[in-house]
Structure 1
Amino acid sequence: MKTEFIVSDMTCNHCVQTITQAVQAIAPGAAVSTDLDTHRVVIESPADAAALRAAIADEGYDAQLA
Protein backbone atom coordinates (compact mmCIF):
# COMPACT_ATOMS: atom_id res chain seq x y z
CA MET A 1 0.00 0.00 0.00
CA LYS A 2 1.30 3.46 -0.87
CA THR A 3 0.76 6.34 1.54
CA GLU A 4 1.75 9.91 0.73
CA PHE A 5 2.30 12.74 3.18
CA ILE A 6 3.15 16.41 2.96
CA VAL A 7 5.72 17.24 5.64
CA SER A 8 6.10 21.00 5.34
CA ASP A 9 8.83 21.22 7.97
CA MET A 10 11.06 18.64 6.22
CA THR A 11 13.81 20.89 4.90
CA CYS A 12 17.11 18.97 4.77
CA ASN A 13 18.74 15.58 4.41
CA HIS A 14 18.86 15.18 8.19
CA CYS A 15 15.05 15.50 8.21
CA VAL A 16 14.82 12.89 5.47
CA GLN A 17 17.04 10.48 7.41
CA THR A 18 15.11 11.00 10.64
CA ILE A 19 11.73 10.45 8.97
CA THR A 20 12.97 7.39 7.08
CA GLN A 21 14.36 5.82 10.25
CA ALA A 22 11.14 6.55 12.17
CA VAL A 23 9.01 4.91 9.49
CA GLN A 24 11.28 1.89 9.16
CA ALA A 25 11.32 1.43 12.94
CA ILE A 26 7.59 0.64 12.88
CA ALA A 27 7.49 -0.83 9.37
CA PRO A 28 10.73 -2.69 8.68
CA GLY A 29 11.32 -3.01 4.96
CA ALA A 30 9.14 0.00 4.11
CA ALA A 31 10.26 1.86 0.99
CA VAL A 32 10.45 5.57 1.74
CA SER A 33 10.96 8.15 -0.98
CA THR A 34 11.15 11.87 -0.34
CA ASP A 35 11.18 15.09 -2.31
CA LEU A 36 12.55 18.07 -0.39
CA ASP A 37 11.32 20.54 -3.02
CA THR A 38 7.69 19.53 -2.63
CA HIS A 39 7.99 18.27 0.97
CA ARG A 40 6.44 14.95 -0.07
CA VAL A 41 7.09 11.63 1.62
CA VAL A 42 5.83 8.52 -0.14
CA ILE A 43 5.84 5.30 1.82
CA GLU A 44 5.29 1.86 0.32
CA SER A 45 4.29 -0.35 3.24
CA PRO A 46 1.39 -2.41 4.57
CA ALA A 47 1.47 -0.28 7.75
CA ASP A 48 -1.57 1.79 8.64
CA ALA A 49 -1.43 5.46 7.56
CA ALA A 50 -2.25 6.63 11.09
CA ALA A 51 0.67 4.62 12.51
CA LEU A 52 3.03 6.03 9.88
CA ARG A 53 1.84 9.56 10.60
CA ALA A 54 2.29 9.02 14.33
CA ALA A 55 5.85 7.76 13.83
CA ILE A 56 6.71 10.88 11.85
CA ALA A 57 4.97 13.13 14.39
CA ASP A 58 6.88 11.47 17.25
CA GLU A 59 10.06 12.84 15.63
CA GLY A 60 8.61 16.36 15.70
CA TYR A 61 7.35 16.68 12.12
CA ASP A 62 3.87 17.67 11.00
CA ALA A 63 2.76 15.08 8.43
CA GLN A 64 -0.50 15.60 6.57
CA LEU A 65 -1.97 13.07 4.17
CA ALA A 66 -1.51 14.28 0.60
Structure 2
Amino acid sequence: MKEAVMIEFEVNDMTCGHCVSTITKAVKQTARDAVVAVDLGNKRVQIESKTADEAEFKAAIEEAGYTPVQAPASAGAPRKSGGGCCGSCH
Protein backbone atom coordinates (compact mmCIF):
# COMPACT_ATOMS: atom_id res chain seq x y z
CA MET A 1 0.00 0.00 0.00
CA LYS A 2 1.26 3.47 -0.91
CA GLU A 3 2.28 5.77 1.94
CA ALA A 4 0.45 9.06 2.41
CA VAL A 5 2.36 12.09 1.20
CA MET A 6 2.09 15.62 2.57
CA ILE A 7 1.90 18.33 -0.07
CA GLU A 8 1.76 22.04 0.67
CA PHE A 9 0.95 24.90 -1.67
CA GLU A 10 0.91 28.67 -1.35
CA VAL A 11 -2.22 29.98 -3.06
CA ASN A 12 -1.89 33.75 -2.92
CA ASP A 13 -5.08 34.37 -4.89
CA MET A 14 -7.15 32.51 -2.25
CA THR A 15 -8.87 35.34 -0.36
CA CYS A 16 -12.14 34.21 1.22
CA GLY A 17 -14.25 31.30 2.44
CA HIS A 18 -15.61 30.73 -1.06
CA CYS A 19 -12.04 30.26 -2.31
CA VAL A 20 -11.35 27.77 0.49
CA SER A 21 -14.48 25.80 -0.40
CA THR A 22 -13.70 25.77 -4.12
CA ILE A 23 -10.12 24.58 -3.58
CA THR A 24 -11.19 21.94 -1.05
CA LYS A 25 -13.78 20.56 -3.50
CA ALA A 26 -11.22 20.46 -6.32
CA VAL A 27 -8.77 18.53 -4.14
CA LYS A 28 -11.45 16.09 -2.96
CA GLN A 29 -12.56 15.45 -6.55
CA THR A 30 -8.98 14.51 -7.36
CA ALA A 31 -8.60 12.16 -4.40
CA ARG A 32 -11.47 11.29 -2.08
CA ASP A 33 -9.01 10.09 0.57
CA ALA A 34 -7.29 13.48 0.72
CA VAL A 35 -7.13 15.27 4.03
CA VAL A 36 -7.18 19.01 3.32
CA ALA A 37 -6.13 21.73 5.77
CA VAL A 38 -6.44 25.34 4.62
CA ASP A 39 -4.86 28.34 6.35
CA LEU A 40 -6.55 31.28 4.67
CA GLY A 41 -4.56 33.87 6.65
CA ASN A 42 -1.25 32.48 5.44
CA LYS A 43 -2.57 31.46 2.00
CA ARG A 44 -1.63 27.80 2.58
CA VAL A 45 -3.23 24.56 1.45
CA GLN A 46 -1.91 21.36 3.01
CA ILE A 47 -2.94 18.05 1.48
CA GLU A 48 -2.29 14.52 2.69
CA SER A 49 -3.14 11.71 0.29
CA LYS A 50 -2.22 8.13 -0.57
CA THR A 51 -3.75 8.15 -4.05
CA ALA A 52 -2.76 11.36 -5.86
CA ASP A 53 0.46 13.30 -6.27
CA GLU A 54 1.51 16.94 -6.27
CA ALA A 55 1.08 17.42 -10.01
CA GLU A 56 -2.50 16.12 -9.91
CA PHE A 57 -3.45 18.42 -7.03
CA LYS A 58 -1.73 21.40 -8.61
CA ALA A 59 -3.63 20.83 -11.86
CA ALA A 60 -6.95 20.51 -10.01
CA ILE A 61 -6.40 23.76 -8.10
CA GLU A 62 -5.38 25.52 -11.33
CA GLU A 63 -8.51 24.22 -13.08
CA ALA A 64 -10.54 25.68 -10.21
CA GLY A 65 -9.08 29.08 -11.12
CA TYR A 66 -6.22 29.51 -8.65
CA THR A 67 -2.44 29.69 -8.82
CA PRO A 68 -0.84 27.12 -6.50
CA VAL A 69 2.90 27.27 -5.93
CA GLN A 70 4.80 24.57 -4.05
CA ALA A 71 5.31 25.99 -0.57
CA PRO A 72 8.83 26.33 0.77
CA ALA A 73 9.54 24.25 3.84
CA SER A 74 10.24 27.24 6.09
CA ALA A 75 6.98 29.10 5.61
CA GLY A 76 4.65 30.75 8.02
CA ALA A 77 4.86 34.46 7.38
CA PRO A 78 1.66 36.16 6.28
CA ARG A 79 1.24 36.35 2.53
CA LYS A 80 0.19 39.31 0.39
CA SER A 81 -3.26 39.05 -1.15
CA GLY A 82 -3.22 38.89 -4.91
CA GLY A 83 -6.88 39.40 -5.78
CA GLY A 84 -9.68 36.97 -5.36
CA CYS A 85 -12.41 34.96 -6.91
CA CYS A 86 -15.43 37.12 -6.27
CA GLY A 87 -14.26 40.72 -6.22
CA SER A 88 -15.87 41.38 -2.84
CA CYS A 89 -12.83 40.33 -0.82
CA HIS A 90 -9.56 42.24 -0.66
TM-score range, shorter chain: over 0.9
More strand per residue:
1
Paired with 2:40 and 2:32, the residues of 1 have a C-alpha distance of 23
> In structure 2, which of residues 57, 61, 67 is the aligned counterpart of residue 56 of structure 1?
61
Q: Which amino acid aligns with 2:7?
A: T
> In structure 2, which of residues 16, 24, 28 is the aligned counterpart of residue 24 of structure 1?
28
Paired with 1:29 and 1:45, the residues of 2 have a C-alpha distance of 6
More helix per residue:
1
Q: Over the residues paired in the alignment, what is the CA RMSD in angstroms? A: 0.6
Q: After the TM superposition, list the runs of 4 or more consecutive aligned residues in structure 1 that deviate by more than 3 angstroms.
A: none
Higher relative contact order (CA 8 A, sep 6+): 1
Q: Which amino acid aligns with 1:33?
A: A
Structure 2: unaligned runs, 5 residues or longer: 72-90
TM-score normalised over the length of structure 1: 0.96
Matched residue SS, 1:16: helix
Cα displacement (A) at 1:2: 0.4
Structure 1: unaligned runs, 5 residues or longer: none
Paired with 2:9 and 2:30, the residues of 1 have a C-alpha distance of 16
Structure with higher Rg: it is: 2
Cα displacement (A) at 1:57: 0.1
TM-score normalised over the length of structure 2: 0.71
